[in-house]
A and B are shown apart, each in its own frame.
Chain A
Amino acid sequence: MVPTNYYVLLSAILFGLGIVAFVFKRNIITIFMAIELMLNAVNLAFVAFSQALGKPDGEVFVLFVIIVAAAEAAVGLGIIILTARNRRSLNVENVNLLKL
């Protein structure tokens, strides 16, 4: 059986990639995907621990996360489409209404 350490390490690497992509990418779609990547990295860790501890709690959490992520994807994509229509751009630098 694959040791839990590996899963956790993979999860951490995926999460780190997600963060780096989130911070450095400018395309909204890419940022959105980075968020999804981070969510799924966490899901992976949950499942791994669930299996290691022999408890179903982690899997239940993962189901919740997937459901919320689906809802979030719907809302997020809606926002992205509106933004793209309004600004004719997917560059996050242009979405700066809150900027000083």
Chain B
Amino acid sequence: MPILEHLWIIPLLPLLGSALNGLLGWKWPNKTVHSVALAATGLSFACALEAVREFVANGQQLFRKEFFDWIVAGNFRAGFDLQFDQLTVVMVLVVTGVGFLIHIYSTGYMAHEEGYFRFFSYLNLFMFFMLILVLAANYTLLFVGWEGVGLCSYLLIGFYFLKKSATNAGKKAFIVNRIGDFGFMLGMFLLFRTFHTLDFTALFAQAGPLPGEAMGQFGTLTVACILLFVGATGKSAQLPLYVWLPDAMEGPTPVSALIHAATMVTAGVYVVARSHILFTHAPTAMYVVAIVGCATAFFAATIGLVQSDIKKVLAYSTVSQLGYMFLGCGVGAFSAGIFHLMTHAFFKALLFLAAGSVIHAMGGEQDMWHMGGLASKIKVTFWCMLFGTIAIAGFFPFAAFFSKDAILFAAFNHEPGGKALYAVGLLAAVLTSFYMFRLIWLTFFGQKRYDEHHVHVHESPLNMTIPLMILAALSLTGGWFALPALVGGKDYFSEFLSPVLGSGEIAGIENAHNLELTLSGVAMLAAVVGLIVAWRMYAKDVKRGKSEGLHKLLYNKYYVDELYQAAIVGPLVWISQNVLWKVVDVGVIDGTVNGIASGTTAVGDRVRQVQSGNTRSYAVWVLIGALLVFGIIFWPIVHPALVGGMR
């Protein structure tokens, strides 16, 4: 059966798995539950591979099919239309592939947790929505996936719903995302108003020939792009809406790996890349994307430097790396952004899963200051973590070396202000290397800072370590598509994406190849600097120092949460309580309702006096009524006579 003709089957399989587990899973043993979930995602991955094979066999033609109408109103049509192009290939393979590995890992990690079926049901549901998001052929359907993954994110962050902090984190993620989604929807409305369609093919065909807007000009396209980007900042945790992602670490670790590192949070990058035709017409919006991305990359990295929770370090690292992706998109190197998205999915999923394995080994401990010296005890986890760390730090020939390098190279050559973006990006790379090796040293080396009588460190089972090893291998090899570019050959990744995203070649640079080599060397140097500094500071036995000055500022995340609390949440709560509740709700709304009720009662009290129950008073009323009728009948006769008589 040609899968490409039946693309719906790829998202449908996880939905089926989710429904089965959600409805029947409560009475199934764990084995059945995860068999269903694994079969659903595994088959989905297999279908995706087959679809890719067919896609390549068809000569990489954009495949697009309208399955059924969803909303038809006037000249607006939102259909269940799916499409398959080079960008989709990358996204679908990442989502189903990494998703499948994380499903396998979860069977080990979640084995002793309550609500096993619930977890897999949500996880499969997430896969469904994520696949809808990347396969959708119009913004409306994309938005369905967009909201759906947000829902699953909420459900999974709050998975341990008995923990107050987990449910709060879930709500925070959901609400912060709403702010972004508001911008996204406004962007969609604006696009529809301008182009009268939200279909990718039709919309980009219309937008393509339009003249680009000038730098600094806020035309329709620029505003639409910035609004879409507001949505992306929410979903992809960029400044200023990144605050939900670190809190999202309350969820189980596989969730952090799948949703909050590898797939969902990259949806914003995907949307920007998908809309790149619009963005290239709006240089101002591009610049905003680049600056926000660059600032986030640096800002989040600085917070990551001092965190003590192993997952928090990785969370801020994720925010920072997402910033890199946006930086890449913002300077026009969309394929580099997507490249980093893919390699990041590998190594960050790896890092999170390895961190999960560490936490598993430590019996739930997440504070790195309570670890130390684990390298010899959990060897597999250690080596996988090390692979991930080397990959993210950007050492040759690991994945991020190529992808981060491509982004920084594009930033360096961007005009105007590219050099500054490059400098900040490079600094963030140093910080990345530093905080990751700090994590390694604090966790795996040095003296034991935990009580050996209470914590029995043990290596994780095979179903957890095998996905780790696969991801470690991918973290090593994931960047090799661009390997030939180093020796003057082609970058196969960006060439593969070029039919969708354009060539991304920067023309008119002399000795581009030499420059790229030089910049690669500089990036390597940055990673080495980070490594050495971390080694100097943490390789020896360290005590947790007192937090003061800059360290305190960073440790408390620049007090951004407190700032938001004071500047936004506080006033909002105050207005809600003192105006909306006590004035509008109690005064106006309740007042109106109660007023109508008491008014009716008062009128009724008067009127019911008429019905006294006294027969004779009824007779009087009948009499009065009769007289009135007589009056009405005879008045026209009597009246002229009276008037005439007076004359």
| Bound: A100/B620 CA distance, A | 18
Question: Which residues of the other chain, A, contact B600 by a CB distance below 8 angstroms?
Answer: none
A-B pairs with beta carbons under 8 Å apart, 22 shown: A19-B619, A19-B623, A22-B616, A22-B619, A23-B616, A23-B619, A23-B620, A23-B623, A92-B615, A92-B616, A95-B615, A96-B613, A96-B614, A97-B613, A98-B613, A98-B615, A99-B612, A99-B613, A100-B608, A100-B611, A100-B612, A100-B613
Distance (Å) between the CB of B609 and the closest chain A CB? Answer: 8
Q: Contact residues of B with A, CB < 8 Å?
A: 608, 611-616, 619-620, 623
| Bound: A92/B618 CA distance, A | 13
Question: Which residues of the other chain, A, contact B608 by a CB distance below 8 angstroms?
Answer: 100
Select from chain B the residue with minimum beta-carbon distance to A28: B615
Chain A residues touching B, majority SS: loop
A31-86 contacts to B, CB under 8 A, are none
Chain B residues touching A, majority SS: helix
| Bound: A36/B614 CA distance, A | 21
| Bound: A77/B614 CA distance, A | 20
How does the 8 Å CB contact mask read for A7-39 relative to B, with 1 for contact and 0 for none?
000000000000100110000000000000000
Question: Which residues of the other chain, A, contact B612 by a CB distance below 8 angstroms?
Answer: 99-100
Distance (Å) between the CB of A53 and the closest chain B CB? Answer: 20
| Bound: A80/B616 CA distance, A | 16
Question: Which residues of the other chain, B, contact A100 by a CB distance below 8 angstroms?
Answer: 608, 611-613
Question: Which residues of the other chain, B, contact A23 by a CB distance below 8 angstroms?
Answer: 616, 619-620, 623
Select from chain B the residue with minimum beta-carbon distance to A100: B613
| A99 adjacent to B623 (CB under 8 Å) | no
| Bound: A19/B611 CA distance, A | 20
| Bound: A98/B612 CA distance, A | 8
Distance (Å) between the CB of A5 and the closest chain B CB? Answer: 16
Question: Which residues of the other chain, A, contact B615 by a CB distance below 8 angstroms?
Answer: 92, 95, 98
Extra A-B contacts (8), CB below 8 Å, given A99-B613, A100-B612: A19-B619, A19-B623, A23-B620, A95-B615, A98-B615, A99-B612, A99-B614, A100-B613
Distance (Å) between the CB of A99 and the closest chain B CB? Answer: 3
Select from chain B the residue with minimum beta-carbon distance to A95: B615
Q: Which 10 A-B pairs have the closest CB atoms?
A: A99-B613, A98-B613, A23-B619, A100-B613, A22-B619, A23-B620, A23-B616, A99-B614, A19-B623, A96-B613
Select from chain B the residue with minimum beta-carbon distance to A99: B613
Question: Which residues of the other chain, B, contact A99 by a CB distance below 8 angstroms?
Answer: 612-614
